[in-house]
Amino acid sequence: MSQTLEEFFKENNKIALGFSGGTDSAFLLWNAVHYGADVGIYFAKSAFQPLFELEDARRLCRELGVQLRVLELDVLQDADVVKNDEKRCYYCKNQIFGALKRQALADGYHVIIDGTNASDDVNDRPGYQALQEMEVRSPLRECKVTKADVRELSKEIGLFTAEKPSYACLATRVWEHPLTTESLARAEKAEAMVAAKGFSDFRVRCQYEKAILQMNEDQYDKAVELLPELQEALGQLFEKVVLDEAPRKLLM
């Protein structure tokens, strides 16, 4: 029988959290605070995170009355990250959680946790492999808390992150070429432009000078209707803007 989150935080009452500002880590933070744990909260700020994630992280910490520690990292100094191959997440997690762990240990925290949940498919995920190698624990996964559980319980306790769409880092937007500060900034700006048109839970995949819009099923027809507007807006950034013919599954 698995532990409950209450039991986990009573047993591990001094922990450091790798906090992304997303639904899972927000729920995890609420539980840590609610059950009286001494929690060090670390947000790794790099070119891979859009500004709104940091803003959400700061907002939740203000609401919970806890301190957020922001670690400024230049992950693009790592050549293995920059080459953007299938092991990019492994090298990136090593960079981010390596820095987090060093700071957490210096601050007196010896147990590091993250927000991986019981619904996450960790098979063949290089990033999760890196977390395991660094002995980062995932309480939601250990306590068998699924994504659906997280959303339902977050709504019950009034967290503004309850229905926040899942968001993969900006590096996932850059296809088939190395990562640069410019390519990541362009992806972030492109997605801000699309969001301004009223879309959510979409992706703008950047393939050199081509942008591929991946819209979810619920908003696909709207994307078809507004495609000329989207092409005009994103035409400031890309030579070609196309809509992926296969709608994305809505990932909540």
pLDDT in tens, 158-215: 999 999 988 888 999 998 889 999 999 999 999 999 999 999 889 999 999 999 999 9
What is the model's pTM?
Answer: 0.88
Residue % of the chain over a pLDDT of 90: 83
Residue % of the chain over a pLDDT of 70: 98
List the one residue out of 141, 149, 146 whose CA is nearest residue 3: 141
What are the structural domains of the chain? 5-157 (3.40.50.620), 170-243 (3.30.70)
Specify whether the CB–CB gap between 154 and 26 falls below 8 A.
yes
pLDDT in tens, 5-56: 999 999 999 999 999 999 999 999 999 999 999 999 999 999 998 889 999 9
Written as six digits, the tokens of 187 are: 């992806």
pLDDT at 251: 46
Tell me the average pLDDT of the chain: 93
The rounded distance, in Å, linking the Cα atoms of 192 and 204 is 10
| pLDDT-based confidence at residue 252 (cuts at 50, 70, 90) | very low
Instruction: Give me the residue label for tokens 């940091």.
Output: 54
Residue 44, strand partner residues: 71
Residue 248, strand partner residues: 216
